[in-house]
Structure 1
Amino acid sequence: MMPGSNKYMSAIHMSVKNGPGQVRPGGRTEEVRKAVATTVLGLIEKGRVDFELQEVARLSNVHRTTIHRRWPDRTALIAEALSEHNSRIDVQFSGDWRIDIARMALALRDFLNDPVEIAMNTLLASANNAEFREMVVAHWAPVMTYFQRPILEAQARGEIDPKHDAEMLVTMMIAPIVTVIIFLKQRPDDQFIERLAMQLINACT
């Protein structure tokens, strides 16, 4: 472990909502959107991406006409659900890239261990649904961009060598977590996350 690492790893439990999610308006419109998105996420959690609009209307207690007007097809409903799901990513950047890598690793562990996320990643690994895969990839792209920010900013300040690929570093953080959750059926513990974060920090220094 590098000198001073305790300073960085003690920060991994500190997070407030400041992630890539959107600020939503209130009122009845937001209640309807939330009910529909939650319903679709519940269906995805059960491995269902072949649902019908009528089923979503019944389960969400939202009139079918309202759903048809705002979400004309299954693709639109899944897109809304994915947007809601990804808005749950919860992390605050501190300005210290080492602390931020530690925080990102913890936030990713918690997010990737969410039952809906597990179901989606399992579907991606096992099902041959190109449309669903493309939608998930498209909605994940802003998250990837967001998590690259501390690394890119540190490179701009001269704290990380620009030869390091920010996107690849984030991918290297995600892959071991997904592997443990999806293939080993385990939740990575804090020690695993600390080791992963420190390995990435050491690689950049």
Structure 2
Amino acid sequence: MGPVAVASCMLLATSLRSMQIWADLRAILPPDLASALAKCEQAAASPVDAMLVTGLSPEWMEAPPCTAFFGAPLAPDEPSAALLTPSGERVGLRVQASDPAGQAAAMSAVGSVNWVHLDTTSEDEWTMIPAENVISVCHSTPTRLAATALTAGHVPGLAFALELGADALVLSPPEDAEGEALWEAGAIARAQRAEREEPRAAGAAAGSEAEGLAVGVVTSVEA
């Protein structure tokens, strides 16, 4: 396969991403994490892909039930904070979606980190525009976007923005009917994204095989 074909396949591969659901457990103390995570998975009627925490119990530090990310708090006058693995490896950054400096930091980090988390704490601050901007820049790069959704109404826009969508939805544990609806909407969107990616993945595989074929012209025959 020539260089052009390889580049084409790489672009296809980076666009074929399924969507994850992260449980936002930053407000939960380590002894209560198991029950909070169980509540999230019950509301989604399916496993959670990852959890965002500020601490873990000793046993979960050794073997967490799902991928764990530590969300460092934002320091004063800092537009972003690190997103870490339990071992302390920096895998991304978190920014406030409503902060222009944070949005700029997110855009600048695309291509150099695994994850960008666009966070928001209130509906007054929530807006789709920063998410759409980062989604468009992340497309065809190794960087993935995780975005906080506060209500079920936020989910479709984040999951399918620009026909691409965020790579993960970050959802707080359900505390009432609205919280249950948020998790149900997230689980439905994740399933819809998976269904949408299956035929595209099959088409990409077929295309890569076709690109591997070359047509030659015989100009001479030697004995």
TM-score over 0.5 for the pair: no
Q: Higher RCO, 1 or 2 (CA under 8 Å, sep at least 6)?
A: 1
Structure label with greater radius of gyration:
2
**TM value normalised by structure 1:** 0.26
Greater per-residue strand proportion: 2
TM-score by length of 2: 0.25
